[in-house]
Amino acid sequence: MADIKIYSAVVCPYAHRTRLVLQEKGIDFDLIEIDLQNKPEGFTKVSPYGKVPAITHGENSVWESAVINEYLDEVFPNPPLLPNSPIAKAQARIWIDFANTRLVPAFSTLLRNPDPQKQEEAKQELYKHLEFIENEAFGKLSGEGPYWFGESISLVDFTFFPWFERWPALKHYRGFGVPAEFTRLKQWKHALKERPSVKAIANSKEFYIERYAKFATPVPVAA
């Protein structure tokens, strides 16, 4: 039995982040799949928020994907997934915050909101965020390397990637693909898709299109 147990849900992009980190670091773990519509009794003892991911490491519990991933990087330091210098580490945390507070809300609004006007606003916002990533991350931090911080993969890459693996659902339901002009972003996505840790737990675009149908299609209101 592994020291690490991860409580996960296959459709959840936040849990996907932590599973990617576990795979990249080669950490032995037990995977416990949680049905988020029918959570098991006692789950809140592990995850007080009642959300995935959560991990247990021995007697201790950690929850929230960004916190879990930094914890794993400290406890299992090889390979390191944060830069060494304080400023680069701060930049990494800024980008992780950008994912959580900018990109993800716009993605979610576009996919889930049935109002065409709100969808159009979300498309514009999402485009602006992708443009910012193209110019400020890949234009300034990546150099000639394929990843956020150049040649070395980091927690930032694994923080963003789950939404890009799910992007085909956004394109299918809302007609919004990753714009062709963001060439570095597309190169980054391709580099991540080819990484063994990503391939090990990847799902097909058809999987996400099917699983996200209930979020993208409004439920009819009974008369």
Among candidates 201, 191, 158, which has minimal Cα distance to 69?
158
Residues 6+ apart with CB under 8 A from 41: none
The label of the residue with tokens 């020291």 reads 3
Is the four-CA dihedral 184, 189, 192, 194 of positive or negative sign?
A: negative
Q: How far apart are the first and last CA of the chain?
A: 53
Helix residue ranges per DSSP H, the chain = 13-25, 43-46, 65-75, 86-98, 104-112, 116-132, 155-165, 167-174, 183-193, 196-199, 205-211, 213-216
Our answer to whether residue 12 is catalytic in this structure is yes
Q: Are 18 and 10 in contact (CB under 8 A)?
A: no
Out of 12, 22, 122, 156, the active site residue is: 12
Active site residues: 12
